[in-house]
């Protein structure tokens, strides 16, 4: 069975905000990983506006959250990530517990009561790209916005 995002996150009307993290300096992995992070960011931001589709993992067919993240990493770095957000969260990669310590290219996980139900790609300056819900599109959101701040679990450093 193909599993995707397990929840339907809050769908709010768009209100311009200013992330408190936006004032932090942009951070990327050192060395060659910095170029990979740049490739990840370009691919991720280029997919903003692509329709959401549960179980989707291509631009033509649409994306769910884990399908989007898997596609971004496969196409920009050649990495094959696990298919579901919970399996991605279980990867043996360094965990980043504080939003202020995230760097560009980190995977960011959300959920409640210890259950991971959503994943996105941190692009820096307090923003992340994700495929949030049915009827929506891939979008760029503030990681410390009202819904996401309350459901942030941790990040995983994939490019380190």
For 57-94, b where at least 16 C-beta lie within 10 A, e where not — what string? beeeebbbbbbbbbbbbeebbeeebebbbbebbeeebe
Residue 79 CA, chain-centre distance (Å), reads 15
Is 65 marked active-site? yes
Q: How confident is the model over 54-63, as pLDDT tens digits?
A: 999 999 999 9
Q: How confident is the model over 30-47, as pLDDT tens digits?
A: 555 568 889 999 999 999
CA dist., res. 156 & res. 125, Å (int): 17
Please give the pLDDT value at position 13.
Answer: 42
Q: pTM of the prediction?
A: 0.83
Q: How confident is the model over 81-106, as pLDDT tens digits?
A: 999 999 999 999 999 999 999 999 99
Is 18 marked active-site? no
Please give the pLDDT value at position 160.
Answer: 74
Q: Indicate the domain borders of the chain.
A: 28-156
Q: How high is the mean pLDDT of the chain?
A: 86
In the set 5, 115, 130, 151, the catalytic residue is 130
Domain 28-156 fold: endopeptidase fold (from Nostoc punctiforme) (3.90.1720)
Is 10 marked active-site? no
Q: How confident is the model over 6-25, as pLDDT tens digits?
A: 544 444 444 445 566 666 55
Print the SS3 string covering 13-57: CCCCCCCHHHHCCCCCCCCHHHHHHHHHHHHHHHCCCCEECCCCE
In the set 18, 65, 115, 151, the catalytic residue is 65
């Amino acid at each position: 069975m193909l599993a995707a995002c397990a929840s339907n996150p809050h769908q709010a009307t768009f209100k311009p905000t200013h992330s408190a993290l936006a004032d932090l300096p942009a951070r990327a992995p050192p060395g060659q990983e910095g170029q990979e992070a740049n490739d990840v960011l370009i691919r991720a931001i280029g997919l903003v506006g692509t329709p959401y589709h549960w179980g989707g993992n291509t631009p033509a067919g649409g994306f769910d959250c884990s399908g989007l993240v898997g596609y971004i990493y496969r196409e920009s770095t050649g990495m094959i990530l696990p298919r579901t957000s919970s399996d991605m969260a279980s990867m043996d990669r360094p965990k980043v517990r504080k939003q202020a310590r995230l760097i560009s290219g980190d995977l960011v996980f959300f959920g409640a009561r210890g259950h991971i139900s959503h994943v996105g790609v941190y692009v820096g300056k307090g923003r992340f790209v994700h495929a949030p819900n049915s009827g929506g599109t891939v979008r760029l959101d503030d990681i410390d916005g009202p819904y996401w701040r309350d459901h942030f679990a941790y990040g995983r450093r994939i490019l380190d």
